[in-house]
Amino acid sequence: MQAVAQVKMEAKMKAFKMTDAVRGFTFGDPVPTETVILEKQYREDTLPFSVEVAEGKGRFSLPLTKEDRVYGLGPNLGGINKRGRCYESYCTDDPLHHEDKTTLYGAHNFFVLEDADVATGFFIDFPGRIRYDVGFTAMETITVEISGEDFDLYLIEGGSIKEIVRSFHEIIGKSYMPPKWGLGYFQSRWGYKTEEEVQEVYETFKSQDIPLDGIYLDLDYMEDFKDFSLSKERFPNFKKLTQELKEEGVRLIPIIDAGVKVEEGYNIYEEGIQGDHFVKDAEGKPYVAAVWPGKVHFPDFLKKDTRTWFGDQYKMLTDLGIDGVWNDMNEPAIFYDETALQEGVDAAMAAKGENLGVNAFFSLRDKFMNIGNKEEYYRRFFHTIEGKTYTNEAVHNLYGYNMTVSASEGLKKHLQKRHVLISRASAIGMHRYSGLWTGDNSSWWSHLSLNLRMMPALNMSGFYYVGADTGGFGGQVSGELLTRWLQLSVFTPLLRNHSALGTRVQEPYAFHEPLVSYNRAQIKRRYMLLPYLYSEMLKVHEKGGLMFSPLAFEFFGQEAQEAEDQMLLGEELMMAPVVEANKKGRYVYLPESMALVDFDMEEVTLTKESAGVTYMTYDLKDLKFFLRRNRLLPFTLPVGNVSKEDLTTLRVLGYVDTEASYTLYDDDGESYGYEEGKRFETHLQVRRLEDGELTIDVQSTHPKIQTVIFTLMDDSGDIRIKEVQIGL
Ligand code: MIG
């Protein structure tokens, strides 16, 4: 990045400092987004490049050298290195994520530009649309176009991307931490129609011996798609079912949509009208859009008292025994609005009996075909922030974010213990309140690798409790694809198999043998890895930084930069999933020697692999990954769900040539004690002495762990097993 020129509109810009690594520049009078939690300290400073602010837009371009790489931008299409594409930050409901798309559900305006020797982080705090042309129009230019004149631009400096990410996380605050059961396996489907069907799903998991921590409930549990209602016909014993399953350690997680059905006598609608909680149209009347329930009003989540009011509605669910929710359609998605529908109907009526030319036909067709989520809808309803009125379009990316703040506050208040909360729309800031799923992907191989590539970018934005619809939401999944997807998703903190209405059933047992056995094995392995995954979640919650990092963030060289189908997890593991059809293995790039871990229920094996490129066989039945040199990986034996976790014996894999240590974090899994640092730590340390002897040290405050069994490999590939008893 080169210094180009001084900013043109000095008068409109105020410089500030936030921490040693973070400085920023305020242009105009930005909307408060509450993304950044630290105070600005205004001072003199100059921007090292020019930002044009004119005609309702802010714009800057930076030169990219051939070597520069661009990382971040959250849940987006494209590679890990974002170069060569355009992106837009504007939360959008788009269920077809093919290569032409530029905008998905999240708006995450943090990216890092790295050249041969310097990396710089950029964060644009602005709630409207931002366009990024990352070396697309001109290969050697990145252009950012902000659709407003009022924004904060942050620059984050540091010695490495990892440091920059940590410094960024310091200013945006700590992330949402799910309860431990949130890291289990979840089954979902749109739609399990009745409580019998849900019961049957549970029974099948049980009889098939497949672990399960919960079942997501889609729209069908509601009456007429009304938020906080229950279908008396399909779910007459909702509370009983919820409680019975919970006794088995299986939670139900219902969906809540952003739109509130317009219906007289419906309590949420009536209260919303009385309390003036709905967003208004230009005439000051509640804006009418149509989503699943038909006509709806949208709660104005940008208003504090509306958030409190809506958040309190979740009590209806917590009173029934619900401990987790998913917030959907909160971009907000709009099927049509009254004006657009009327225009379509009028055009159709006018066309009646006419001989339509091709252009007239297409124009008529478009009135119905492209009626969903039209840009103009978001200019037809308004929010008021600190006395100023904005179109939704101007503050669009705050909507789903604040619906989720509302849910989070309500659930926290009414549960007194941790809950699971995921949202579809997202913006940075929301990471403090919930996790997310990546929206309506498809049962495509390309979306399996997209899932992998999104993980580090989501972590960069502060989101850790994340995952994609395993198996793919839309489209027809093949058994092979589901099993391959599980081989990846067993590592993602949110592990949920979800699929759309009308698609091929995709529960892990919905396939023929041997796939069912393989799927069962994959899910059990997730539970074996759970102590480690949970420990890593507690660590990133506390310290920020990345749980998933591209190889390029850790190793030098072009091979590391280009290995976008491999990923580091924590400081210990390297994943190398198979993301293509008809493969029996794949080539893996090893930046240093590692232990190949073949993870099996009966016997976990370690094999030494030298640095370089190697072909690894990887069957559908396997779970394989790599353990880095001088690192330890704790694991345990599988259980039916998190409530049955048994840590009396902890197992540890190690590739130790000189010395390795790991501190396993754990806690009660459900209280907020972790916020005050209440946790159990188990320090594991292995040293290999000159003569090859091993010394092992285990210090633990964990109330359960009694025995630790180490399987340790050295540089020559020899394995030794050691058992350590912890004095009580
Ligand atoms: O218009 O509730 O992303 O997970 O199954 C579709 C039905 C609405 C979109 C969500 C998806 C969910 C579906 N919803």
Report the candidate in 418, 410, 430 with the shortest Cα–Cα distance to residue 173: 430
Structure confidence at residue 12 (pLDDT): 78
Q: Is the CB of 217 under 6 A from ligand 1?
A: no
Tell whether ligand 1 has an atom less than 6 A from the beta carbon of residue 439.
yes
pLDDT of 315 above 80:
yes
Quick one: pLDDT at residue 387? 87
What would the mean pLDDT of 415-436 be, rounded to a whole number? 98
Q: What is the pLDDT of residue 602?
A: 77
Q: How much is the pLDDT for 6?
A: 46
Q: Determine which helix (DSSP H) or strand (DSSP E) holds 312, and give its type and residue range.
A: helix 304-313
pLDDT over threshold 90, residue 505: yes
Tell me the pairing of strands 151-158 and 85-89. unpaired
Percent of the chain at pLDDT exceeding 70: 98
Mean pLDDT of 40-64: 96
pTM over 0.95: yes
State the average pLDDT over residues 513-536.
98
Give the residue, out of 253, 423, 440, with the most ligand 1 atoms within 8 A of its beta carbon, to mutate for a pocket test.
Answer: 440
Ligand 1 pocket member 189 (CB < 6 A): no
pLDDT, one tens digit per residue, over 155-175 is: 999 999 999 999 999 999 999
Asked whether the predicted pLDDT for residue 1 surpasses 70, the reply is no
Write out pLDDT tens, residues 88-105.
999 999 999 999 999 999
**pLDDT above 70 (res 5):** no
Ligand 1 pocket, residue 97 CB under 6 Å: no
Cβ–ligand 1 distance for 291 under 6 Å, the answer no
Query: 10 pLDDT band (50/70/90 cuts)?
Result: very low
Tokens of 24: 């920023």
- Non-local (6+) Cβ contacts of 714 within 8 A are 655, 656, 657, 688, 692, 720
- Which residue in this structure is represented by tokens 């069962």? 520
Query: Tell me: the pLDDT tens digits for 323-382?
Result: 999 999 999 999 999 999 999 999 999 999 999 999 999 999 999 998 999 999 999 999
| 578-581 contacts at long range (C-beta below 8 A, 24 or more positions apart) | 578/484, 578/487, 578/618, 579/445, 579/448, 579/449, 579/452, 579/484, 579/488, 580/445, 581/445, 581/478, 581/480, 581/481
Going from the Cα of 388 to the center of ligand 1, the distance in angstroms, rounded, reads 33
Residue 251 CA to residue 182 CA, distance in Å, equals: 10
Q: Which of 97, 189, 190, 326 to mutate to test the pocket of ligand 1 (most atoms within 8 A of CB)?
A: 190
What pLDDT, on a 0 to 100 scale, did the predictor assign at position 115?
84
Q: What are phi and psi of 376, to 5 degrees?
A: -65, -25
Using the predicted structure, report yes or no on whether residue 7 has a pLDDT greater than 50: no
Question: Whose Cα sits closest to atom 11 in ligand 1?
Answer: 440
Q: Is the beta carbon of 190 within 6 A of some atom in ligand 1? A: yes
The atom number, within ligand 1, closest to the CA of 469 reads 4
Task: For 66-83, write each residue's pLDDT tens digit.
Answer: 999 999 999 999 999 999
Does residue 11 register a pLDDT over 70?
no
Q: Can you give the pLDDT at residue 668?
A: 98
- The rounded Å distance from CA 93 to ligand 1 centre is 10
Give the pLDDT band (50/70/90) at residue 728. low
Spatial neighbors of 668 by CB under 8 A, at least 6 apart, are none
Share the mean pLDDT of the chain: 96
Determine if ligand 1 sits within 6 Å of the CB of residue 93: no
Where on the phi/psi map is residue 313: left (φ > 0), alpha (ψ -120 to 50), or beta? alpha
**pLDDT tens digits along 607-620:** 999 999 999 999 99
Alpha carbon of 700 to ligand 1 centroid (Å)? 44
CA distance linking residue 353 with residue 346, whole number of Å: 14
Q: Which atom of ligand 1 is nearest to the CA of 191?
A: 5
- Check pocket membership of 424 for ligand 1, CB cut-off 6 A: yes
Ligand 1 centroid, distance to 328 Cα (angstroms): 7
Closest atom of ligand 1 to 257 CA is 2
218 CB within 6 A, ligand 1:
yes
pLDDT tens track for 169-214: 999 999 999 999 999 999 999 999 999 999 999 999 999 999 999 9
